Amino acid sequence: MLGKFGLMEQKIPRHKMCHIIFQIGFLYMVKELQSSINIFSDAGPDVRWVGDETGTAGDTCWSTINRTSLAIGASNITEYLNTGDPRGTDWLPAECDVSIRPGWFWHKSESPKKLSELLDIYYKSVGRNCVLLLNVPPNTTGLISENDAHRLKEFRSAINTIFHKNIVEDSYIKVSSQRQRGGKEGGFGPQNMLDSDHLWSYWAPHEDKKEKEDHWIEIWGKDGILKFNVIRIQEAIGLGQRIKEYEIYVDGKLIIQGTTIGYKRLHRLDGDVVNASVVRIRFIKARGIPLISSIGLHFDPFWHSKFTAT
**Any idea what the Cα angle at residue 259 is, between residues 258 and 263, rounded to 5°?**
100
> Do 259 and 223 share a structural domain?
yes
Does residue 198 sit in the same domain as residue 158?
A: no
Do 151 and 192 have their domain in common? no
Q: Is 239 in the same domain as 293?
A: yes
Q: Cα-flanking dihedrals φ and ψ of residue 125, to 5°?
A: -120, -75
Q: How many CB atoms lie within 10 A of CB 275?
A: 11
**Separation of alpha carbons 279 and 109, rounded Å:** 47
pLDDT in tens, 90-149: 999 999 999 999 999 999 999 999 999 999 999 999 999 999 999 999 999 999 999 999
Q: Is residue 14 part of a domain?
A: no
d(CA 106, CA 113) in angstroms, rounded, equals 12
Residues 286 and 261 in one domain: yes
Kindly report, residue by residue over 8-49, the tens digit of the pLDDT: 445 556 556 666 666 667 778 888 899 899 989 888 889 999
Look at residue 13 in the predicted model and tell me its pLDDT. Answer: 60
Confidence category of residue 199, pLDDT binned at 50, 70, 90: confident
| Cα–Cα distance, 158 to 133 (Å, whole number) | 18
Percentage of the chain lying above the pLDDT 70 cut: 86
Domain of 251?
167-298
User: Is 294 among the domain residues?
Assistant: yes
Residue 229 falls inside a structural domain: yes
Q: Which of 143, 163, 183 is the last residue of a domain?
A: 163
**Which of 123, 141, 163 is at the close of a domain?**
163
Query: Positive or negative, the Cα torsion across 298, 153, 197, 204?
Result: positive
Q: What average pLDDT does the structure give for the chain? A: 89
Do 103 and 187 belong together in one domain?
Answer: no
Does residue 137 sit in the same domain as residue 197?
A: no
Give the pLDDT band (50/70/90) at residue 212: low
Q: Of 114, 147, 163, which residue constitutes the final position of a domain?
A: 163
The answer on pLDDT for 167 being more than 70 is yes
Q: Does residue 308 sit within a domain?
A: no
User: How confident is the model over 205-216, as a mean pLDDT?
Assistant: 75
In a domain, 43, yes or no: yes
Residues 171, 294 share a domain: yes
Within-domain flag for 305: no
Q: Provide the domain count of the chain.
A: 2
> Are residues 230 and 129 part of one domain?
no
In a domain, 112, yes or no: yes
Asked whether residue 147 falls in the same domain as residue 180, the answer is no
Q: Are residues 129 and 197 in the same domain?
A: no
Over residues 235-251, the pLDDT tens digits come to 999 999 999 999 999 99
Q: Give the model's pLDDT for residue 309.
A: 41
